[in-house]
């Protein structure tokens, strides 16, 4: 069907299913034509099985060559027998190995994807080009389990520390009791020794006193034959020749009593001094034990407080993990080691694709309207209105936000990106073919790396290069350094074909628009 008369043209998002519906086959090879046979390569950018025959009513292999075979698909080469003009309308597609963001919705101002997700341009670019991670979703069930695990850890630590403290306290008290018991034994031993010494001294004194008493009683009323001396007390009882009487007995008894009292006093003083020393040692042992128990309790309390502080920090870190949170490499590795089962994070358009898939547009519109009504900040209200416009536009057009992330890339018809043979056997080709070739090469390399299970660093770098290749294909002037040809000329992308004075709209679709500047115009008149 040829459409020659139309009044309006609408550019909108297309779902992957729509793009596959437009397509007549997947382009898997970067080749264009075979330069010896000058025929399109199969599954390449000019494949006849996908885009149609290069000659009217003739298949690729030449089995069917007449109009009478119209509508037949060659079983050998897979080409539909039809007019070659279909190569102006038939499209192909590329199944991307990883989702890729559409540069029109990320790099332009305003960035519709950034507005929708409430992400700054800087953060959006850092995620898209694999410079930082973004948290895609949170598993609240696992987060609750992690919280319970932290509570259990604190409870177990409390019980363990209390048990350890009690064991050490019991050991300290047991050691102190053993030391005190040993001192008590020593105290009893000293008392026994002093008592034995006292008894032996008293016994010796009493023996001597009994002998002297017998002598005095025997010689009572007679003069003493010699000096009578109480040796234990070093006391003279009666001189030689002195007549002995009861006074001498009394003197002996008084000396004996005084000496016994002196011995008892000395023993008691020594016993008291020894007991005082031992009691002081016992008090020292008890004080030291109390100090050790107090120190142990203090250490235990400090350790428990440190644990509770650390667990509280981990709890705050756990509760602080939120969707759309941005993490650098070090932060991601640290959080993944601790809470890898609580959250899911990613890089690149793949992460944004997962976030967009989970968006509830009706709920978001309702929340934004509530925010607009309730907020007093003019800046926040202005931003919320912008976001609401994007959300409502998507809702009214029945488009999904994840369609701004490409998983299938359309390939435009080959006659819109032709290859022309020049004199001398050389070819002039549209810049789009070079840009498509870069995309296919990087896409195939990424598929191969994924099949081989390459390291994440290599895969991420290849995904970033695929994103850059698709960016250059759609709009070569937006992203950093533009892709250029060998002659340093910037390649024209799909956007360049549409925009500007030489673009498809102003040059072809809006009628004749002749530039008269600098031209001489002859006007009929008398002069």
The token duo for 254 is 């008084």
Provide the terminal-to-terminal Cα distance of the chain, rounded to the nearest Å.
53
Number of H helices, E strands in the chain: 14, 12
Q: How far apart are alpha carbons 150 and 156 in whole angstroms?
A: 10
Most confident of 65-74, 435-444, 509-518: 435-444
Report the Cα 230 to chain-centroid distance in Å: 100
Say yes or no: 128 and 171 in one domain: no
What's the whole-number mean pLDDT along residues 419-446?
90
In a domain? residue 122: yes
Say yes or no: 105 and 150 in one domain: no
Whether omega before 110 lies within 30 degrees of 0, making that bond cis, reads: yes
- Which DSSP letter does residue 484 get? B
The token duo for 392 is 């409502």
Q: Map 218-231 to HEC letters.
A: HCCCCECCCCEEEC
3-state SS, residue 279? helix
In a domain? residue 152: yes
Quote the pLDDT of residue 355.
93
Beta strands in 310-386 (DSSP E): 326-327, 343-346
- Which DSSP letter does residue 422 get? P
In a domain? residue 208: yes
Q: What pLDDT digit, counting tens, does each position of 265-324 carry?
A: 888 888 888 888 988 998 999 999 999 999 988 988 899 899 999 999 999 999 999 999
> Does the pLDDT of residue 221 top 60, yes or no?
yes
In a domain? residue 85: no
In a domain? residue 81: no
Say yes or no: 430 and 361 in one domain: yes
> Does the pLDDT of residue 465 top 90, yes or no?
yes
Greater confidence (73 vs 525) lies with 73
3-state SS, residue 453? coil
What's the whole-number mean pLDDT along residues 330-358?
92
Percent of the chain with pLDDT over 70: 93
pTM of the entire structure?
0.74
Residue with tokens 């920090």: 313
> Does the pLDDT of residue 511 top 70, yes or no?
no
Output phi, psi for 138, to 5 deg: -115, 135
What's the whole-number mean pLDDT along residues 378-382?
92
What's the whole-number mean pLDDT along residues 373-394?
92
The token duo for 31 is 């080749």
Whether omega before 218 lies within 30 degrees of 0, making that bond cis, reads: no
> Does the pLDDT of residue 1 top 50, yes or no?
no
39 beta partners: 34
3-state SS, residue 321? coil
Quote the pLDDT of residue 262.
85
In a domain? residue 72: no
327 beta partners: 133
Domain boundary pick from 295, 317, 339? 317
The token duo for 310 is 């650390």
3-state SS, residue 79? coil
Inter-residue contact 54 to 33 (CB < 8 Å): no
Say yes or no: 220 and 263 in one domain: yes
Say yes or no: 312 and 351 in one domain: no
In a domain? residue 10: no
Say yes or no: 122 and 182 in one domain: no
> Does the pLDDT of residue 383 top 50, yes or no?
yes
Q: How far apart are alpha carbons 132 and 346 in whole angstroms?
A: 9
Inter-residue contact 26 to 95 (CB < 8 Å): yes
Say yes or no: 127 and 149 in one domain: no
Output phi, psi for 303, to 5 deg: -60, -40
Q: How far apart are alpha carbons 339 and 341 in whole angstroms?
A: 5
Q: Which domain holds residue 379?
A: 16-52+90-132+347-509
Q: What pLDDT digit, counting tens, does each position of 93-110 carry?
A: 999 999 999 999 998 888
Say yes or no: 33 and 180 in one domain: no
Say yes or no: 127 and 147 in one domain: no
CA separation, residue 293 to residues 176, 181, 184, 466 (Å) = 11, 19, 23, 67
Domain boundary pick from 262, 296, 317? 317
In a domain? residue 352: yes
Say yes or no: 147 and 121 in one domain: no
Q: How far apart are alpha carbons 171 and 180 in whole angstroms?
A: 14
Q: Are strands 326-327 and 33-34 parallel, antiparallel or unpaired?
A: unpaired
Q: How far apart are alpha carbons 184 and 150 in whole angstroms?
A: 50
Say yes or no: 285 and 171 in one domain: yes
Greater confidence (214 vs 156) lies with 156
Q: What pLDDT digit, counting tens, does each position of 15-68 carry?
A: 999 999 999 999 999 998 888 888 899 999 999 999 999 999 999 888 888 889
Say yes or no: 288 and 228 in one domain: yes
43 beta partners: none
How many structural domains are present in the chain? 2
């Amino acid at each position: 069907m040829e459409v020659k008369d139309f009044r309006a043209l609408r550019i909108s998002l297309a779902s992957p299913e729509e793009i596959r519906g437009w397509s007549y086959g997947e382009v898997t090879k970067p080749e264009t034509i075979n330069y010896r046979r000058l025929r399109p390569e199969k599954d390449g950018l000019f494949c006849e099985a996908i885009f149609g025959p290069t000659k009217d009513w003739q298949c690729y292999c030449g089995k069917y060559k007449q109009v009478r075979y119209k509508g037949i698909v060659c079983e050998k080469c897979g080409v539909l027998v039809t007019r070659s003009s279909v190569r102006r309308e038939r499209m192909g597609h590329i199944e991307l190995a990883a989702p890729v963001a559409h540069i029109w919705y990320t790099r332009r101002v305003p960035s519709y994807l950034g507005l929708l997700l409430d992400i700054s341009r800087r953060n959006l670019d850092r995620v898209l080009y694999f410079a930082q991670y973004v948290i895609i979703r949170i598993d609240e069930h696992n987060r609750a389990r992690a919280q319970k695990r932290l509570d259990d850890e604190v409870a177990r630590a409390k019980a363990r520390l209390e048990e350890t403290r009690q064991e050490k306290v019991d050991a300290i008290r047991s050691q102190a009791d053993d030391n005190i018991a040993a001192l008590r034994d020593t105290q009893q031993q000293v008392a026994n020794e002093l008592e034995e010494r006292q008894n032996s001294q008293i016994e010796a004194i009493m023996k001597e006193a009994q002998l002297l008493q017998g002598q005095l009683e025997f010689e009572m009323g007679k003069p003493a034959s010699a000096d009578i001396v109480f040796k234990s007390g070093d006391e003279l009882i009666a001189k030689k020749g002195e007549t002995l009487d009861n006074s001498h007995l009394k003197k002996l008894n008084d000396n004996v009593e005084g000496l016994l009292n002196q011995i008892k006093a000395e023993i008691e003083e020594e016993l008291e001094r020894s007991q005082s020393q031992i009691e002081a040692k016992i008090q020292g042992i008890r004080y030291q034990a109390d100090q050790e128990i107090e120190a142990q309790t203090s250490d235990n309390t400090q350790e428990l407080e440190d644990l509770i502080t650390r667990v509280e920090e981990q709890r705050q870190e756990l509760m602080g993990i939120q969707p759309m949170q941005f993490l650098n490499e070090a932060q991601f590795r640290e959080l993944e080691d601790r809470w890898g089962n609580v959250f899911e994070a990613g890089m690149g358009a793949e992460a944004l694709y997962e976030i967009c898939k989970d968006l509830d547009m009706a709920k978001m519109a309702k929340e934004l309207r509530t925010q607009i009504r309730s907020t007093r900040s003019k800046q926040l209200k202005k931003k919320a209105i912008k976001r609401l416009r994007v959300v409502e536009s998507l809702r009214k057009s029945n488009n999904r936000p994840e369609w701004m992330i490409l998983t299938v890339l359309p390939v435009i018809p080959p006659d819109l990106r032709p290859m022309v043979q020049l004199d001398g056997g050389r070819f002039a080709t549209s810049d789009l073919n070079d840009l498509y070739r870069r995309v296919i090469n990087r896409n195939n390399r990424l598929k191969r790396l994924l099949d081989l299970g390459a390291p994440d660093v290599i895969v991420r770098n290849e995904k970033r290069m695929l994103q850059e290749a698709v960016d250059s294909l759609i709009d070569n002037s937006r992203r950093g350094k533009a892709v250029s040809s060998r002659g340093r000329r910037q390649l024209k992308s799909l956007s360049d074909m549409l925009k500007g004075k030489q673009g498809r709209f102003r040059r072809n679709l809006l009628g004749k628009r002749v530039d008269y500047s600098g031209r001489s115009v002859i006007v009929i008149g008398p002069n």
